[in-house]
Amino acid sequence: MGKPDQKDLNENMAATQGLSHMITDCKKLFQVSHDILLQLSSSYMAADAYPHPLADLVCQGESKDLHSYFEQSVQNLLKESSEKFKGWLSTPGPLNTELSCKKVGDGHPLRLWKVSTDVEAPPATVLHRVLRERHLWDEDLLQSRVVEALDKDMEVYHYVMDSMAPHPRRDCMVLRRWRTDLPRGACLLSSLSVEHDKVPVEGGVKAIVLTSQYLIEPSAMGRSRVTHICRADLR
């Protein structure tokens, strides 16, 4: 085999130096301009993308409206599932999954994403794994805890997610409710971000979960069809 000529050597050296520069100075190179951040902030404020304080949701009769909100979200999701999620745009995803998204006409720029897959466990077991054993399947989870139990099927949950450098950690505070009495033995978990005065941000940035829903439906041979719908602003 012949030796590479000087041109090839120079190109390889330039590529190596360029890659080294990108790794060393990644925090300087990969930045979003201040003007763009201001534009995004304005669009979020216009779309009311900030979480409501928990006290505003559970006092002065608001808890009744809160239960109505969760119940309506359950019915909407079950209706979409019965209609095979028509109107969603399919997109390539990981192996053995179905990934799709759609726009939501509420003024917020983020799309709603949906992923479905089959799991070798019945719905109740899958729900328990999602609720109480996130550390076993989410490799980005740094810490989590139940801040306050509001009912037998509703609680405030706090968790911190790691991110690939140079991105900061994501701090999430959500109000979540689950159902285990759905038709055919299906289960559902629904979450949205709230503010809680007892838990400050522990580092990184505060992520906003506009909606997160797990629909866990029974399928053949003791398995489950798991559909996760999510719309989150990771900042």
The model's pLDDT over 131-173, given as tens digits with 9 standing for 90+, comes to 999 999 999 999 999 999 988 999 999 999 998 777 788 899 9
Beta-ladder partners of 101: 89, 113
How is the chain split into domains, by residue range? 6-40, 48-233
- Is 68 or 185 the better-scoring residue by pLDDT? 185
Q: What average pLDDT does range 106-125 have in this prediction?
A: 90
pLDDT over threshold 80, residue 117: yes
Kindly tell me the sign of the dihedral angle through the C-alpha atoms of 69, 72, 210, 135. positive
Residue 60 pLDDT grade (very low, low, confident, very high; cuts 50, 70, 90): very low
Rounded to the nearest 10°, the torsion over CA 30, 34, 39, 43 is 70
Would you say 51 and 194 are in contact if contact means Cβ atoms under 8 Å apart?
yes
CATH superfamily of 48-233: START domain (3.30.530.20)
pLDDT over threshold 70, residue 36: no
